Structure 1
Amino acid sequence: MIIFENVSKIYKNGVVGLRDINLRIEDGEFVSVIGLSGAGKSTFLRSINRLTDITKGDIRINEVSVTRAGKKQLRNIRCQIGMISQSFNLVKRSTVQKNVLSGRLGYYSTLKSILGLFSREDYERTKEALKQVGLLEKLHSRSDELSGGQQQRVSIARTLVQQAEIILADEPVASLDPVTTLKIMKDLKDINENRKKTIIINLHSVELAKEFSTRILAFKEGRIVFDGTPEKLSKEELEKIYEKNVGKEKEGSRHGDKRYDTL
């Protein structure tokens, strides 16, 4: 369970990232976060694992304050939070196996982490995770030999090996083709439904948010302006969120269907 209590973030240049956010996300939800660029989506996501420090308020995970956590406690909290980004965040010259195993680094001492001394159990976890995302045959391949979609699936496997209870995904399909986009979204939905992991994902595509999530949050100027099920996200709500710039069908849509123009 994730709780935001009176959370605000103001950057040094005066830009407001979040404005008085009060929110509760239950275990096992699939939450899509939508809104215009600069609306606060990435600030919101990165504040959950404290990659971005908030200015005011408190964020708690299972009643433990992320905001006030010390170095050791924050490390323990982050072990339970996987992160998937648009840029994959893989060590390109390392093998797929090593990149996936890096999800276990938080559970090892600094020395063992440097030397790469992983247990046999973790090597088996790596194979299992790669099998789940359909990449077991790439175990010993260099990561830079893979396609973009395959690299993103490696990053998903890394979160599985990490055994994270919460998976944060920041525009994970933004640079992928329509077919690969659907594969990645289906992988995340499968993890949500079958492994009961909480998924929080930033998306530009409203259609993807409606299709895959159980709950949608919409941000505008740092505030939450919509919080509800996909069925309740009406055209009128979208016009408020996107300042009436909705319904535009982008040529070469990534989803192979209508995609709301959020630029």
Structure 2
Amino acid sequence: MTEQTQRGSSFVLEVWGEYGCFTRPELKVERMSYPVITPSAARNIFDAIYLEFDPRTRRPAHRWEISRIEILEPVRYVALMRNEVKEKISVPSVRRWMKDPAQLVPILADATKDEVGTDTKGRTQRQTMALKSPRYRIFGHAVLFEEDGALRQKIERSFERRARRGQCIFQPYLGCREFAAAFELVTGTPAVPVPHDEEVGWMLYDVFDLSRPGANTDAPHISLFRASIRGGVLEVPPYHSAAVRKPGGT
């Protein structure tokens, strides 16, 4: 499929939660959040409300592109110590256990330790520098992979209806799944962004190739852009612009 760049209606969501963590990839061992939500995390919130799939390919018929993020609460950090799992159950393992329950090997939270007392399996403690009470106003619009007027109308009407009602396919979250997010469709007079200026530097744009319909088996396709917050506003460039760096220099 070839992505069409026609732009339809733009939607504005106000999103907030108790905590948020949008991890800088260069500081992955001990999680350190960006000062603002990333475009990929914002896109995921739009996906949670509505995402249309192509019945022929069973892949997304469109994607949500984020154009602007406004910070509505002061940027505040909080240090958290969390237990994180070191393993996850694989699909092949589950299938083997379904055929032969005797092969079941559970993942234990408190597992064996090596000679120096380090957990070899199970869980590990990690420091997280998260955001406290983040609140954002996010602007986004649908980009169809094959432009179709009737399909665009269906996507935009369905999204607006579900967002107004607070409906979602899965619980939106702010970076980490345990940091649940609330949302509402902005229709009235918006609040003024907080006066925050910061040169963020290279910021994660997305982890998928947004130029084509993706699948959950796709390999990572990391894209980055230079983020600059001015007056509490982060302007996000279009994915296909030269401002977004992608693998291969595309």
TM-score (norm 1): 0.22
Select the structure with the greater relative contact order (CA < 8 A; seq sep ≥ 6).
2
State the structure with more CA Rg.
2
TM-score (norm 2): 0.23
Structure that is richer in helix per residue = 1
Point out the structure with the larger strand share.
Answer: 2
